[in-house]
Structure 1
Amino acid sequence: MKSKTLAAWLAFIGGPLGLHRFYLHGPGDWFGWLLPVPTALGLYGLQRVQELGQDDQLSWLLIPLLGFTISGCALRAILYGLTPADAWNARYNPGANADAETGRTHWGTVFAIALSLMLGATVLMASLAYSFQHYFEYQIEEARKISQ
């Protein structure tokens, strides 16, 4: 029996590592194995910024990968939490009743949804702002070089 609340929390907390995918689909889920790749690349981008400074152009591409992965997993947690009990049980607990306890929404599910919404939106906007700011600063510097 797969719990909707546990799946939402796993997507929120361990989503970038694929924990929710392994919980729902087992260790053979290849999407679960692919999720740590953009997470690791984004962490590498953060490491590059710390070592090389904010002018490192590769980090401008790598850091948003981490942000988009976290935001996508937060969205997945919201979708899990908002799934009706009968649809949840039909998909993840096919042998259970349509109104089985594991598919019901509890306060823990609501907290996972609320935190996922707050964190996911914040990380998404920060990732976009970081990338666009550095891209446009780079464009301005290149335009200054051309004009001189």
Structure 2
Amino acid sequence: MKNKTIAAWLSFLGGPLGLHRFYLRGIGDWLGWLLPIPTALGLYGIERARMYGLDDGWSWVLIPLLGFTIAGCALTAIVYGLMTPEKWNARFNGGAPSDAAPGRTNWATIGAVVLALLFGTTVLMASIVFSFQRYFEHQVEEGRKISQ
């Protein structure tokens, strides 16, 4: 029986590593194995920004990958947490009654949803702002080169 609360917390805390996918679908889930790739690339982008500064073109391309991955996993935690028990049990606990306990929402599930909403939105907005700021700074710099 797959518990909705555990899945929501795994998605929120360990989502960028694919832990929620492995919990729900098993170790053979290919998307679970692909999730750490943008996470690692985003962490590499942060390291490049530390080494070469924020003017490094690769860092401002790679850093948002981490942010968007975290935001996507937070969204997944919200979707899992808000799923009805009937739909949860039909999808992940086949053969169980539609009102089985693992699909029910409790305060721990609501906590995961609230924190995922808070941090997911913050990380998403920060990633968008970082991407647009770096893009427009690059455009201004290229415009200066052309005008000189």
- Relative to the length of structure 2, the TM-score reads 0.99
Q: Which residue of 2 aligns with 1:93?
A: 93
Q: Distance in 1 between matches of 2:127 and 2:143?
A: 24
Match of 1:120 in 2: 120
Deviations 1:66-97 (A, max 9, x none): 00000000000000001000110011111211
1:44 partner amino acid: Y
Q: Within the alignment, does 1:129 sit opposite 2:129 as a pair?
A: yes
Which residue is 1:34 aligned to? Answer: 34
| Alignment RMSD (CA, Å) | 0.5
Per-residue deviation, 1:110: 0.3
Q: Distance in 2 between matches of 1:136 and 1:26?
A: 43
Cα distance in 2 for residues equivalent to 1:52 and 1:3: 44
Identify the residue that residue 6 of structure 1 maps to in structure 2.
Answer: 6
Residue 99 of structure 2 aligns with an amino acid whose one-letter code is D
Whole-angstrom CA distance in 2 between matches of 1:77 and 1:35:
15
- Residue in 2 that maps onto 1:105: 105
Q: Which amino acid aligns with 1:101?
A: A
**TM norm structure 1:** 0.99
Distance 1:142 1:20 in 2: 43
Per-residue deviation, 1:43: 0.2
Opposite residue 70 of structure 2, the aligned amino acid is: I
Deviation at 1:141, TM superposition (A): 1.0
1:127 is displaced (CA, Å) by 0.4
Q: Which runs of 4+ in 1 moved over 4 A?
A: none
For residue 28 of structure 1, give the secondary structure of its aligned residue in structure 2. Answer: coil
Identity rate, percent: 67
Partner of 1:72: 72
Structure 2 residue runs of 5 or longer lacking an equivalent are none
